[in-house]
Structure 1
Amino acid sequence: MSYGGYPPPTGGPPGYGAGGGGYGAPGGFMPPPGPPPGADPQLWNWFSAVDADRSGHISAPELQRALINGDWSAFDLDTVKMLMSIFDTDRSGTIGFNEFSGLWKYIKDWQNVFRHFDRDHSGSIDGSELNQALAQFGYRLSPQLLDLLQRKYAATAAAAHGPPPGISFDRFVRACVVIKQLTEAFSRLDSDRDGWIQINYDQFMETVLSLP
């Protein structure tokens, strides 16, 4: 998988980019276990390539080294940790092959979404494109919130004045997921669906801390 129109290197895992090499089994390392019955051979090869220490599980640093954006920049570590939290169903701190399979499909789906809304094919999402994406997802943010969101997830620090820079693929995924999680948390408290809630400090902290 690659982003921004870049094809994946031959035989590489989703988003697998520069710094490949070194995935051979050095002396002293146990060979990786065989694929589970019925596993997609190509997906298993990608999983094995990402599993650099041959543990049979993928850690956040291993996953980060395997994922790149369309400009060949590495995925933001916070985004990688968010993806891990979604698919680490047994809460082991790592993901096995089955969990990796779900994560791989999830990223592929988001890749298609990103390409759809990157209207100018710039490899990043600007404010207008972000607004269109969120509106299609059912989230209508005020101009102030939209500007705040764009500046928070821009790939580089936003200037005090002028439009913020675009949002890269990894940060776009994170921004959309965070909006979804916050909206769902609010909706659970907005029992009468009037767009207003009244909560005390403990309820607020519990809501915020319970988010992945």
Structure 2
Amino acid sequence: MAGGIPNQDFLFRIFQKVDLDKSNAISADELQQALGNGSFTAFNPETIRLMIGMFDRNKKGTINFNEFGALWKYVCDWQETFRSFDKDNSGAIDRDELKQALTTFGSGEAAIRFDDFIQCCVVIQTLTNSFQHYDTNRNGWITINYEQFLTLAISLRQ
């Protein structure tokens, strides 16, 4: 369903499957259990935390159904992007594929898994959003003091 949000009934059925405790909210643990890496490994907990933080509009530490639709689309879109960079369909982006996809992003590993890829993209998007908050002239340049820098950096942990 990449590129668009599926119909509400389909999305609600998925939401109900992920909401294991039937609380009408998805916790980080439930989301981690639901998301697959394509390699039978659990999603990186930091990636899960970042995604919950990004879509948890009511700041309860969980994702309700209304927030889930945006998260679903986000993951599907990144999955499509990831697959386009994973030229050999190995389930991982190797160095050459990563270099080709993100020439400005470096990796100490020989490959990057899907969850780590999302984490990188979430961090970049969060930093970009924080940067744009200070870039009032929209010219790609900001001047900030140390306290503002810390506020910008701490925004990644929220």
For the aligned pair, the TM-score class normalised by the smaller chain equals 0.7 to 0.9
The structure with the greater share of residues assigned to helix is: 2
Deviation string, structure 1 residues 58-87 (Cα, Å, up to 9, x no partner): 111111111111111111111111111121
Deviation string, structure 1 residues 175-195 (Cα, Å, up to 9, x no partner): 122123324434554558475
Determine if the alignment matches structure 1 residue 77 to structure 2 residue 45: yes
Change (3 A) 1:95 1:185: closer
Paired residue type of 1:83: M
For 2:85 and 2:36, the matched residues in 1 are separated by 19
Aligned equivalent of 2:22, options 23, 32, 54: 54
Rg larger for: 1
Q: Check conservation: 2:35, 2:43, Cα contact below 8 A.
A: yes
Aligned equivalent of 1:178, options 114, 123, 126: 123
Please list, as runs of the form range in 1=range in 2, the aligned pairs for 1:1-212 lying within 5 A after superposition.
39-40=8-9, 42-134=10-102, 141=104, 146-147=105-106, 150-151=107-108, 164-189=109-134, 193=139, 198-211=143-156, 212=158
What residue ranges of structure 2 are gaps of 5+ in the alignment? Answer: 2-6
Secondary structure of the corresponding residue to residue 119 of structure 1: coil
Paired residue type of 1:75: F
Change (3 A) 1:45 1:183: closer
Change (3 A) 1:89 1:189: closer
For 1:58 and 1:168, the matched residues in 2 are separated by 23
For 2:126 and 2:25, the matched residues in 1 are separated by 27
Change (3 A) 1:57 1:171: same
Change (3 A) 1:44 1:186: closer
TM-score normalised over the length of structure 1: 0.63
For 1:112 and 1:125, the matched residues in 2 are separated by 13
Q: Check conservation: 2:28, 2:49, Cα contact below 8 A.
A: yes
Identity of aligned residues (%): 47
What residue ranges of structure 1 are gaps of 5+ in the alignment? Answer: 2-37, 135-139, 152-163
Deviation string, structure 1 residues 31-77 (Cα, Å, up to 9, x no partner): xxxxxxx831x322221121111111111111111111111111111
Q: Check conservation: 2:55, 2:70, Cα contact below 8 A.
A: yes
Task: Between the two structures, name the one with larger relative contact order (CA 8 Å, sep ≥ 6).
Answer: 2
Paired residue type of 1:123: G
Secondary structure of the corresponding residue to residue 26 of structure 2: coil
Aligned length: 151
Q: Check conservation: 1:187, 1:193, Cα contact below 8 A.
A: no
- RMSD over aligned CA atoms reads 2.4
